[in-house]
Structure 1
Amino acid sequence: MGKDEVVTRLFLQYLQVEKNYSQYTIEYYHGDLLDFRLFMSEQSITEFEQVEYSDVRLFLTKLFNQKLSRKSVARKISSLRSFYKFLLREKLASQNPFAGVSIPKVDKRLPNFFYEEELAILFQACDISDPIGQRNRAILELLYATGIRVSECCSIHLQDIDMELSTLLVHGKGRKDRYVPFGNFAEVALERYITEGRKAIMQQNKQSHDVLLVNFRGGPLTTRGLRTVLNKIVEQSSLNSKIHPHKLRHSFATHLLNNGADMRTVQELLGHENLSSTQIYTHVTKDYLKKTYMEHHPRA
């Protein structure tokens, strides 16, 4: 194993252990590093420490020539800047050649969300007489009731759920824990899944662990597995729209704001470090209010 491979592995371990990033995020970082190492090879650069600012500019030119989106370029710059910060911290490099590179501004897309009628169709697509259907309903109810991320959802353990207080202990990004309440629909779905569906799956496969969400073999459900589950739910429903886990998170935030919740509360529930991350939802709610006004005001 070469020096660069060892350094890359150390960085990925740092992201997992110290930064507590999800496997999904770590894979993105790894891919960005592999792309940069390929570029280094093309330029006959043998070590990360040999990279200079002029090399970085050449790398950026290559990215833009590949017609990558500004979002993709910005992510790669951010990944590599973080990587070199790590190298400086570990005294494996003497400079950060990405420090002076400006990240291209990314157009903020308005978050997609489900209307309440669409969510009702999704919930009905789950067959709650079946253990897997009970699990699927619990996933939907939990994601919509709490607005948690996929990685947070897959890391829930049974002891993190307080049925008496209807609250969930969420292990967020950067090891930042928060408590999020959930409502009656989620409580009923969770209770049914834990006492019936999950119990049946675990017994059938002779499994024993305390992770809440399990696959059909009784093992912990991965983030990739959860995405597959959501896609299957959409296929079973009459909806034509696509689903991704963040769409339920967006729906959670949008519906709260539409119904009068204040921004700071939504920020805390979502686990956003900065209010600016939450403020994008105000654009959605304004559009929703305007649409409602135009549809219902007599002189619109």
Structure 2
Amino acid sequence: MKKWTRWQDWTVIAAGAYAALSVLWTSQGGSSTALMVILGVLLVAAGVTNLAMPGMPAAEWAQAVFAVVLLLAPWFGGFTSMTGAAWSAWIPGAVALVVTAFAIKPSTEEYRHHHVMPARSRAIPERASGHRRMPGTANFEETSMNSNHPARLRFFGATDTVTGSRYLLESRDTRILVDCGLFQGYKRIRDRNRIPFPVAPGSIDAVLLTHAHLDHTGYVPALVRDGFTGPVYATHGTSELCKLLLPDSGHLQEEEARYADHRVPRCMFPRFRSTPRPMRSGP
């Protein structure tokens, strides 16, 4: 599947900048000039948004709308002849529209794969537990545990993404969680770390860690915070590494929350802004 690439983002940014600057250079002013300049700036902003946060269909559809309006702007202002101002809108508008058109469908498909499909019944439904179902979770089998099926394996991560390894092995009276990792990567993936665990952490009897990478161990402190009280089994090497990695991970989350809280001006959208908080803090 063709994906939105950086050169396409930079093409849209360049087209928007060219439109704004060239219209200012060739036009004599007026409302139509202001409209074309604003549309050029909006194209630049949309391109920068896609460059910083790829995979957002809404931003790409906005680019397409800006490009179409930029193509029509000369007629709104009476630039019906082949003037410099008209070409300054037509050329970048056409370039931005063509580039965006090739990116909208793949980006929409990727968005559906990461957002829409995991939320549907692609996996076997979670049994009633009073907890919100996590995107990308799956059951290995749908049957209830009985004499014919004494055990069940469920995947609470690392299914539609490679991080967040969490595998729950259940028997009639025991629950063992194999790995308890963080989701890492794009923000839409990291946000899954804040979704309540699919089963009550206090109902888990033990955790088994295969190795010390944070996508296999980083969620253990949050699991303990939410009620897990059982033992954690790991090799000596994994235990020693976790003593370094987990406090460092918590410290980084505290620093990121502190940075977002103090460096972002509080005057920006004060009614809608909330204080950032780390997923967890402390060792």
Same fold (TM over 0.5): no
Larger RCO (alpha carbons 8 Å, 6+ apart): 1
Larger helix fraction of residues: 1
TM-score, reference length from structure 1: 0.23
TM-score, reference length from structure 2: 0.24
